């Protein structure tokens, strides 16, 4: 009886040692690349994530939008469940203690917005309360607290186009059955088909050259943002672009 017990303990120790050496190896690889661990991206959502994601909502300050909160919760849960990269974004924001207030009210210009001063994510009427707008604004929320030059409101055009491309990638891959209007290129633009082909290449990890990637990004970005240029979004700011948000969220581990 005792021998069996010892044998079992020995076996357990062996497994634990083997596991800890795997972990060390992983750490080393990541240290070498100077990157953080991103466990939430690779593992499936854990039990109880439905409640976890609600930590991102500031319920006290969302009283005006009470009737829409169920829908916002559903979006957060779907985003967390189906988009591995967004799991990481949501975990990071929650772990840093950030929350957003939900607002649904008509805005003259924007379909949705993130206002860092009031930490508000807003939708212009219930018709714009859509999952793709939620993804888009969560990315602005994350960008504000993660990319220094975006927090300083420099290069708004770069930030905007990075977010449009990321939202398009996630929608094309993870919500492909949803009716969806691409944000990175207008459907009636000459470049539309070529843009979708570029997204597919990115989805298949076929884009392996950062210079080539940046060149295409600038080219498509100019075609699209030209139409929405304003006091903040200046197409000229795209020149010299290198991946920032896309580097953190998309290219992590895919390109050296």
How far apart are CB 94 and Zn ion at their closest, in Å? 22
Gap between the terminal Cα atoms of the chain: 54
Measured from each CB, the residue nearest to Zn ion is 160
How far apart are CB 147 and Zn ion at their closest, in Å? 14
Q: For Zn ion, which stretch binds (CB under 5 A), given 15-23, 97-105, 153-161, 225-233? A: 153-161
**What does the alpha-carbon distance between residue 150 and residue 82 come to, in Å, rounded to a whole number?**
27
**What does the alpha-carbon distance between residue 92 and residue 70 come to, in Å, rounded to a whole number?**
22
Q: For Zn ion, which stretch binds (CB under 5 A), given 152-160, 179-187, 217-225, 240-248? A: 152-160
The nearer residue to Zn ion, 40 or 164, going by C-beta atoms, is 164
Q: For Zn ion, which stretch binds (CB under 5 A), given 2-10, 44-52, 89-97, 160-168? A: 160-168
Pairing of strands 120-123, 112-115: antiparallel
Contact indicator for 73, 35 with CB cutoff of 8 Å: no
CA angle at 43 for the pair 38 and 49, rounded to the nearest 5°:
100
The nearer residue to Zn ion, 151 or 254, going by C-beta atoms, is 151
Give the total of residues touching Zn ion (CB under 5 A): 1
The nearer residue to Zn ion, 62 or 112, going by C-beta atoms, is 112
Q: Helix, strand or coil for residue 221? A: helix
Element (H, E) at 199: helix 192-203
How far apart are CB 167 and Zn ion at their closest, in Å? 9
Pairing of strands 112-115, 101-104: unpaired
The nearer residue to Zn ion, 101 or 224, going by C-beta atoms, is 224
Q: For Zn ion, which stretch binds (CB under 5 A), given 17-25, 141-149, 155-163, 192-200? A: 155-163
The nearer residue to Zn ion, 109 or 211, going by C-beta atoms, is 109
Query: DSSP alpha helices (H): ranges in 147-188?
Result: 148-151, 156-174
Residues near Zn ion (CB under 5 A) are 160
């Amino acid at each position: 009886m005792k021998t069996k017990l010892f044998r079992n303990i020995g076996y357990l120790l062996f497994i634990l040692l083997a596991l800890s050496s795997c972990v060390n190896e992983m750490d080393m690889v990541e240290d070498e690349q100077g990157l953080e661990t991103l466990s939430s991206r690779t593992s499936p959502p854990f039990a109880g994530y439905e409640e976890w994601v609600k930590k991102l909502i500031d319920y006290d300050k969302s009283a005006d939008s009470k009737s829409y909160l169920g829908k916002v919760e559903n979006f957060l849960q779907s985003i967390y469940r189906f988009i591995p990269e967004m799991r990481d974004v949501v975990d990071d924001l929650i772990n840093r203690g950030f929350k957003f207030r939900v607002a649904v009210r008509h805005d003259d210009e924007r379909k949705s917005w993130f206002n860092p001063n009031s930490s508000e994510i807003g939708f212009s009427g219930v018709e714009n309360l859509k999952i793709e707008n939620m993804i888009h604004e969560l990315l602005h929320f994350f960008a504000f607290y993660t990319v220094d030059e975006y927090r300083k409101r420099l290069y708004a055009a770069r930030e905007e186009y990075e977010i449009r491309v990321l939202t398009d990638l996630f929608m094309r891959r993870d919500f492909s059955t949803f009716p969806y209007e691409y944000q990175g290129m207008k459907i009636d633009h000459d470049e539309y088909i070529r843009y979708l082909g570029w997204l597919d290449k990115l989805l298949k990890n076929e884009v392996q050259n950062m210079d080539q990637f940046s060149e295409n990004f600038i080219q498509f970005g100019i075609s699209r943002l030209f139409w929405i240029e304003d006091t903040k979004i200046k197409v000229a700011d795209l020149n010299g672009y290198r991946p920032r948000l896309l580097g953190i969220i998309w290219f992590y581990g895919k390109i050296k």
